Chain A
Amino acid sequence: MDIDVNQLKEDWCGRQFDEVQIPVAAKEIVEFAQACGETAARFTDPSDPDFQAPPSYTSRFHGGRAMPKDFPIQSHQGFDAGKCVHVNGPLRAGDTVTARSEIHDIYTKTGRSGNMLFIVHRMTFTNQNEEPISVVDWRLVQNQVSRKSKREAGQS
């Protein structure tokens, strides 16, 4: 693979490419919470006055498309290296969240298996009142970036 990382960043980072609305159901919150081992009533009991989704809940959501149209790397070509959730407010049953997607960053790293290309896919979630709920950064990694691309990206 021969990829110019700097050019990729310039062409694709910071541009919203997808927006979806997602209703949030109490039953799914409870199933998610209990399957993960949550025991607090605020995550497992819809009758609790503070009932809300567990903090990492928005990690489960996908947009209408994983990558921008015509983006040269598609999600199935890499693997899921991790997710980071910044929690900005509680997500409640009955809310409808809007999820907006962008490519947030692209960078390279050298690991045991060679050169790796990281693509950070960011989804920003707000509720029906446009109140911030969370930001989820999904790190997608792909092996075997060329040496040329690494040099161009200015990384060792």
Chain B
Amino acid sequence: MRVEYINPFVESAFNVMKEVLQADVKRGELFLKSTSMPVMGVAAIVGLAGDVEGRVLFDMDKATALRIASAMNGEELKTLDELVKATITELANMITAQAVTKLHELGFRFDLTPPAIFTGDNMEVSNQDVEALIVPMETPHGKVEVNVAIRERA
């Protein structure tokens, strides 16, 4: 993945989470991965198109999703209902959109697809041919992994 793309995603994930959760967020060590990897339970995905092709995946377990959605909505949410899903989707949208805005300022043209959310147990995501950059984020509500796989259009 191009070096220029890394920081916008890391920064916006950090900034947006910190802002919407009003809490301390820590960033873990970045790393690359190409094999298929397990999805923790709730995954929001945003597609990217334009100069590049790829997608951003926000991965967390169900308990974390519930706690984050509760914090963002300011009320206690107990089941993974429409509201929770819509909230997580919105979080994914905010982070990706902010990253894309930053990239736009740097001269890269990206378009977003509407986010989609997947929930379930024992899910796995695999990317053939594209390695993913994993940005682990530690929040007081649990761990969220931002999984960015982008490649130049050859």
The answer to whether A and B come from one shared complex is no
